[in-house]
Structure 1
Amino acid sequence: MNVKALFVILFLWLISALGALAQSFAGLGGDAEGFDLPQRGTVFEFPADHGAHPGYRIEWWYLTANLRDAEGTEYGLQWTLFRSALEPLERPGWDSPQLWLAHAAVTTPSAHYVAERRARGGIGQAGVIADPFEAWIDDWVFAGADMAQMSLRASGTDFAYDMALEAQGPLVFHGDRGYSQKSASGRASYYYSQPFFDISGILTLPDGPVQVSGQAWLDREWASQPLGASQVSWDWFSMGFEGGARLMGFTLRDTEGGSYTAATWIERDGTATPFPDGAFSAEPLVQSDVAGRKIPTSWRATLPDKGVDVTVEALNPQAWMETSIPYWEGPVRISGTHRGRGYLEMTGY
């Protein structure tokens, strides 16, 4: 076989495999035979658990940030690296069953910039090293020592960013000490966050560079079959309140019109209180025309046990991620019983 023919075959194989990656994110309730499953009571080990877990089918390193410039203009930033496995193991070279997908975005009050990268594992193009920590795909990199002092960079056709982050609080574990239940049938993931990053650096936009600073939130999650078979979409909220408290809440929606919710209330010192299904609620208030569909871009979110009853409004309603798996993701403003800023992700619309 000549070199050109071999290249064509490898290219087609890569495209096919990466297509499977996109499908895997759309089917998180699918079959996970042969893969590891989260177990209640597992004790996390660091720095190892900052790294990849190839025995699990899906995993992500998901960072969002609320930023301001010197004039007070608000921005949002996203950097996400996804890993998906065709088999529960890792092999070096082109026959690695580990697939990688990454999204980067910057949101302003009037624009939303998005880029996507894809890679095969095993060839050095993408991966995660636990100690010292480094997550990368091509020249997009999130790295630093023990999740404490980090650097972050990514770029797209119309934007780039180069940021420094410093943790101001501890890691936070969701659910039962990091075992995060996602359905009444008991489907679950391992889930922890670093919601206390200070972040600063340069956004490069079409009008030039902008110096910004603010707060960032990192989510770490891995599983093999986290959703129930009928669960198809979700709305996920991260909120940072004036005074220092934080709140994570999500609603998972199913094909019958039902939902499953969970939340974590986080004190300013990092003390976390998990809340089970039904304690947190999110009700759409306003819908916007976005990418040819109706998207709820204003919500009422409540957690009565903590006196939370807030309105969550998109900074830019047009923050649509036109990626392999399209979804809405963007910064939000929070008002009501608590004031602050945060991020909202919505899928299935």
Structure 2
Amino acid sequence: MNVKALLLALLLPFAASAQGFAGLGTDAEGFAVPQPNPQFSFPADHGAHPDYRIEWWYITANMTGPDGTPYGLQWTLFRSAMAPETRAGWDDPQLWMGHAAVTTPDAHFVTERLARGGIGQAGVTADPFAAWIDDWQMTGFDDARLTASGPDFAYDVNLTATGPLVFQGIDGYSVKSAAGQASYYYSQPFYELSGTLTLPDGDVPVTGTAWLDREWSSQPLGDNQTGWDWFSLSFDDGAKMMGFRLRQTDDQNFTSATWIDADGTATPYSDGAFNAAPLATTTVAGRDVPTQWQVTLPDRGIDVTVAAINPQAWMDTSVPYWEGPVTVTGSHGGQGYLEMTGYE
């Protein structure tokens, strides 16, 4: 297989759909589909689920350097399947993609890796936990080490979980549309972080917090959904919130949220309880992208402005999207991360 053919085989499952991000609204025939009342089993469910079409291990972090400068970090491993099975060798239908990024107030560094399953280049083992693509690694789960590098940046950080796993939606069954599309979705939003960023001007020691999202499905979007705006917010009082809106072709949105108490107690909120409305847009990579939002969850007294630390945090990858750290002001202060997909 020549290089061009290999790249085409790797990229098509991620980029071939007009539905939005990673073809998530396309047909799931032949793959397993999430069902209500999931029964998770750990550590096994920290590992891969090759009978589902799409899966990710997704870490974002808010950090500060010694002088108080804010930084953001992203480490993501995506798995996409052409068939619900695994095989040894180059004809394995499991495909892998990695994204790594560091965001500063004036720069956004991003890089990507692509791999084919079956040859050891990328994968995940559950016990002991390890996730990797080439030399990027996450080793360990409750106490983890995270590494990645690109042409002009690198990071090596340690993560320590200080709270429980949080199951999004109803016990980890996260509904994504009025038609009932769903995923299995849980998070570890209680990581404490310390380590080192390597930037063009040198090494920067950092401390902060990190949030891991684990999600897998085969068709989590409806065929009328074009992308999403996803927020993970950590408030100064120790509470946290995950919320998203899925944009539809009829200009309506489907929303979902989870309120997370400081002790990890989670309360899910179904469509309509959470709202996110753009307040300001920025021209990013030739398109208008919302980079300041009003986010509300009235049941918890949340009415905050969420603003990008660096509005130009564009992920110029095979499947392009916006991802970066944010500040939170208003009824509650805090920080977090924002991801926006499907902006053409």
Q: TM-score surpassing 0.5?
A: yes
Residue 97, structure 1, aligned to residue 103, structure 2: no
| Alignment match, 2:195 | 201
SS of residue paired to 1:257: coil
Counterpart of 2:12, as a letter, is A
Q: Which amino acid is 1:19 matched to?
A: L
Counterpart amino acid of 1:274?
P
Q: RMSD value over aligned CA atoms?
A: 0.9
Q: Which residue of 1 aligns with 2:66?
A: 70
CA–CA separation in structure 2 for the residues paired with 1:161 and 1:252: 32
| Counterpart Cα distance in 1 of 2:214 and 2:225 | 21
Q: Is 1:17 the counterpart of 2:9 in the alignment?
A: yes
Shift of 1:27: 1.6
In the alignment, the residues of structure 1 paired with residue 317 and residue 2 of structure 2 have an alpha-carbon distance, to the nearest angstrom, of 23
Write out per-residue CA displacement over residues 99-149 of structure 1, whole angstroms, 9 at most, x where no aligned residue. Answer: 0001000000000000000000000000000000000000000111xx210
CA distance in structure 2 between the aligned counterparts of 1:140 and 1:319, rounded to whole angstroms? 21
- Residues 10 and 91 from structure 1, CA distance in 2 versus in 1: closer, same or farther, beyond 3 angstroms? farther
Q: Any conservation in 1 of the 2:304–2:329 contact (CA below 8 Å)? A: yes
Match runs of 1:70-89 below 5 Å = 70-89=66-85
What TM-score results when the alignment is normalised by the length of structure 2? 0.97
* Shift, 1:16, TM fit: 2.4
Give 1:308 deviation, angstroms. 0.2
Deviates most, 292-301 or 19-28: 19-28
2:323 counterpart of 1:329: yes
* Equivalent residues in 2 for 1:161-310, closer than 5 Å: 161-310=155-304
The equivalent position to 2:109 in structure 1, one of 110, 113, 117, is 113
Cα deviation, residue 243, structure 1: 1.3
* Per-residue Cα deviation, 1:291-337 (whole angstroms, up to 9, x for no partner): 11111110000000000000000000010000001110000000000
The Cα of 1:21 is off from its aligned counterpart by 2.7
For each residue in 1:142-189, what CA deviation from the matched residue of structure 2 results, as whole angstroms up to 9, or x when unmatched?
111xx2100000000110000000000000001110000000010000
Residue 12 of structure 1 and its aligned partner are, at CA, apart by: 4.3
Q: Equivalents in 2 of 1:148, 1:42: separation in Å?
A: 22
* TM-score, normalising length: structure 1: 0.96
Q: Aligned AA for 1:64? A: T
What displacement does 1:290 show? 1.1
Displacement of 1:23? 2.3
Q: 3-state SS of the aligned residue for 1:305?
A: helix
Give the % identical residues. Answer: 65
Q: Secondary structure at the match of 1:14?
A: helix
Q: For 1:191-244, what per-residue CA distance to the aligned partner results, in whole angstroms no more than 9, with x for missing partners?
A: 000000000100000000000000000000000000101111110000000011
Q: Match of 2:264, SS?
A: coil
Q: What is the alpha-carbon distance in structure 1 between the residues aligned to residue 340 and residue 4 of structure 2? A: 32
> Whole-Å Cα distance in 2 between the matches of residues 62 and 125 of structure 1?
19
Query: How many Å apart are 1:13 and its aligned residue?
Result: 3.9
* Aligned residue identity for 2:210: A
CA deviation string 1:223-266 (max 9, x = no partner): 00001011111100000000110000000001111110000000
Which residue of structure 1 lines up, in the alignment, with residue 119 of structure 2? 123
State the 4+ residue runs in structure 1 displaced beyond 6 angstroms.
none
CA contact (8 A) 2:15 2:318 kept: no
| Separation of aligned partners in 2, 1:220 and 1:19 | 22
Q: Secondary structure at the match of 1:34?
A: coil
Measure the CA separation in 2 of the matches of 1:10 and 1:142: 30
Gaps of 5+ in 1: 1-8
Which letter maps to 2:256? A
Which letter maps to 1:70?
Answer: P
Residue 10 of structure 1, CA deviation: 5.0
SS of the residue 1:93 aligns to: coil
Measure the CA separation in 2 of the matches of 1:14 and 1:98.
Answer: 13
In the TM superposition, residue 26 of structure 1 has moved relative to its aligned partner by: 3.2
Secondary structure of the equivalent of 2:6?
helix
SS in 1 for 2:14: helix
